[in-house]
Amino acid sequence: MKKNSILTTALLCGVTFAAVSCGGAGGSYDPENFLPHGTEENPYQIVKDPITIEIFAPHSSGQPEYKDLKMFKQLSKLTNLNFTFTTPDTSAYPNRRAAVWEDRNYKPDLFLFNNPISEQVQYAENHFDALVPFNDPNYADSTGNIGSLIDNYMPTYKTLLDNNFNLPSTQENAKETATVSDGKMYCTLSVKDVARDLTYKMFINNVWVKNVHDSFPESYAAKHGIDDATKILTIDDYVGVLTDFNTYDANNNGRNNDEIGVSSKAFEFFRNFILQGYGYVNAAPELEADGSKFTYVPKTEAYRNYLKVANSMWKNGLMDRSSPENKTDSQMATNGKRLGSFVAAAPYLITGQNEDPNNLKEDGSKWRYDLEYVTVNPLLSSEYNGPRIHYGFGYFKPDGACIPTASKYKREVARLIDIMYSKVGTELIAYGVEGEDWTWDDEAKTSWTFNVPEDWTGNQEEYRGTITPNVGSASALYWSNEFVGKMNDEVITTINRQSEGYVPYLKTPEPAKYKFTSKEYQEISTIKASLDGQITYYETTFIKGDTMDPNSDKDWNDYLSTIDRFNAGRLEEIYNTMLARYK
């Protein structure tokens, strides 16, 4: 009797569980609930009765849970959609993202942010029925003929695409970037046109430049009329001024040689900055200026010239000797106030701020060390006198948002994505709700102020992290200069203005419109896993000059044969094979 009742209970539990599970996964879809154009009162409303959208998105440690972010709460209020989240950590995101397809029971409605292009390529090649093509006019599923999501449900995104996101001057083409080999768009674009986020910046201490120029007539700066850092135009100028810093006690503390010319994180950005003086912007395959071919830069004489300059700077004590080990800004910042120049998102991240309460400006505000720093122009050299170039991250990336075919709510999610690209959506993702989190400063709407609560103890970005996932790993879908560029903030306005100086020279070494086949992606990944380590090792070795000298032909040829053994030539060939398909 007892045994029977246990069995009956177990059976009932099983049946109930199965029923609940099935109900959750396969509930019916009500097409009448969808509002393609919102309502008169609320054009952003997407459904009459609330439905729940499952979002899969990367998450950085230290970030609040997405369900607690104001942006999603506000989106929920506007659209009448509820959200649930699966948010793997950023570091595990690529693997978790790929593993989603293995789990036949997990069906997210939206992949938001950081969607890999290689996955879309693989999908397109094999016609796996996994992602909805946004631009397919014949697309149909069990809920009926949906057609082109962009044409039918995404008017804002369609207009932005048609107008190349209002970036007429750029060479980059939004539509080409979003389209894969079968002519379809499986992912929306993430777009950035804010100058400070389009490139890295090389800063130099302009007060030191002026000190040296004004006080020492025999200095390089004085002899070449460099009384302001904006007059540094060549690699010789740059090295000459850094040498002055050391020689002439640029910081006026009575000790020569305690200034450090330049610091870098593992040479990476320093390398790109010097390389541009020889016609390239990074140590990887790079599209030639005329678009004719890709060149593997570490094989070139330009790269060797960079190594020679860096080796000479190292030997002459112009480089931070911690550079090979520096992995973070905070490691660079150890020597912050002694640095003549460095690459960073903003100077104060490296130099810190003057916390001395007695050291105030005339108006009573604290003096900021970092405002002494200005950006260095893209350089030229005697070996390269072509157009000035500077590394650009690119405006468009095809990694914004994808809709899995398993989702019942494709049209609803398409409208949601479209709202994220609208004025309200871009403002919301960037800085939150108008009137609450930020307010316009004037009626003409020329600038706005971010309202960080007075009792907030962290910094401004940390507060922004309570509003939007855009702090940390996730990119905003549309980080628009039209709005972000109007922020009223002394530091950010200065950095924006300085960064704008680089915009006319930006060169993206590998434009995002070019896509490989999945086999090519695989081979590139395998080659780079071993080749990149060789490149960075030899770079460090050549610069330090202990065992290899970039001026020695023998050492250089040994290096070339080593990297060829590691398939540098094959890597270049894959890039050019891909390029040939676009011609």
SS3 for 408? coil
Count CB-CB contacts under 10 A for residue 24.
Answer: 10
Cα 243 from chain centroid (whole Å): 33
Query: Rule CB under 8 A: is residue 296 a binding residue for other proteins?
Result: no
Residues 43-62 that bind other proteins (CB under 8 A): none
Listed residue (106, 136, 203, 191) closest to 401, CA to CA: 191
Q: CB of 370 within 8 A of CB of 491?
A: yes
d(CA 307, CA 285): 17
Write down the least CB distance from residue 192 to other proteins, Å: 20
Nearer to other proteins, 405 or 451 (CB): 405
Buried b (16+ CB within 10 A) or exposed e, 457-468: eeeeeebbbbbb
Select from 115, 122, 219, 470 the one that contacts other proteins (CB under 8 A): 122
Q: CB of 535 within 8 A of CB of 562?
A: no
Write down the least CB distance from residue 286 to other proteins, Å: 14
Q: CB of 366 within 8 A of CB of 493?
A: no
For every residue of 426-491, DSSP letters joined together read HHHHHH--BTTTEEESSTT---EEE---TT--S-HHHHHTTT-TTTTTPPPSEE-HHHHTTB--HH
Select from 257, 382, 446, 526 the one that contacts other proteins (CB under 8 A): 526
Degrees, nearest 5: CA angle 192-193-198 = 80
d(CA 403, CA 412): 10
Write down the least CB distance from residue 184 to other proteins, Å: 16
Select from 249, 259, 320, 427 the one that contacts other proteins (CB under 8 A): 320
The stretch near other proteins (CB under 8 A) out of 9-17, 222-230, 458-466, 525-533 is 525-533
What six digits make up the tokens of 406?
């398993």
Write down the least CB distance from residue 530 to other proteins, Å: 4
The stretch near other proteins (CB under 8 A) out of 176-184, 203-211, 318-326, 499-507 is 318-326
Nearer to other proteins, 335 or 480 (CB): 335
The stretch near other proteins (CB under 8 A) out of 27-35, 92-100, 440-448, 493-501 is 92-100
Query: Rule CB under 8 A: is residue 514 a binding residue for other proteins?
Result: no
Select from 74, 407, 481, 567 the one that contacts other proteins (CB under 8 A): 567
Query: Rule CB under 8 A: is residue 215 a binding residue for other proteins?
Result: no
Query: Rule CB under 8 A: is residue 106 a binding residue for other proteins?
Result: no
Select from 113, 479, 502, 521 the one that contacts other proteins (CB under 8 A): 521
Query: Rule CB under 8 A: is residue 541 a binding residue for other proteins?
Result: yes
Query: Rule CB under 8 A: is residue 440 a binding residue for other proteins?
Result: no
Degrees, nearest 5: CA angle 308-202-399 = 105
Nearer to other proteins, 119 or 412 (CB): 119
Nearer to other proteins, 47 or 403 (CB): 403
Select from 34, 60, 106, 130 the one that contacts other proteins (CB under 8 A): 130
110-112 vs 373-375, strand pairing mode:
unpaired
The stretch near other proteins (CB under 8 A) out of 319-327, 372-380, 481-489, 575-583 is 319-327
Write down the least CB distance from residue 126 to other proteins, Å: 7
What is the rounded (10 degree) CA torsion for 549, 550, 554, 560?
130
Query: Rule CB under 8 A: is residue 539 a binding residue for other proteins?
Result: yes
For every residue of 175-212, DSSP letters joined together read HHHH--TTS---SPPEEE--GGGSS-EEEEEHHHHHHH
Select from 145, 546, 561, 583 the one that contacts other proteins (CB under 8 A): 546
Listed residue (311, 303, 300) closest to 239, CA to CA: 311
* Binding residues for other proteins, total number by CB under 8 A: 47
Select from 98, 140, 289, 360 the one that contacts other proteins (CB under 8 A): 98
Neighbour-count burial of 157, counting CB atoms closer than 10 A to its CB (0-12 exposed, 13-18 middle, 19+ buried): buried
Neighbour-count burial of 562, counting CB atoms closer than 10 A to its CB (0-12 exposed, 13-18 middle, 19+ buried): middle
Query: Rule CB under 8 A: is residue 286 a binding residue for other proteins?
Result: no
Q: CB of 285 within 8 A of CB of 510?
A: yes
Write down the least CB distance from residue 96 to other proteins, Å: 10
Residues 136-175 that bind other proteins (CB under 8 A): none
Write down the least CB distance from residue 298 to other proteins, Å: 13
Query: Rule CB under 8 A: is residue 64 a binding residue for other proteins?
Result: no
Residue numbers at the binding site for other proteins (CB under 8 A): 91, 94-95, 98-102, 116, 118-119, 122-123, 126, 128, 130, 266-267, 320-322, 324-325, 331, 334, 518, 521-522, 524-526, 528-530, 532-534, 536-537, 539-541, 544, 546, 565-567
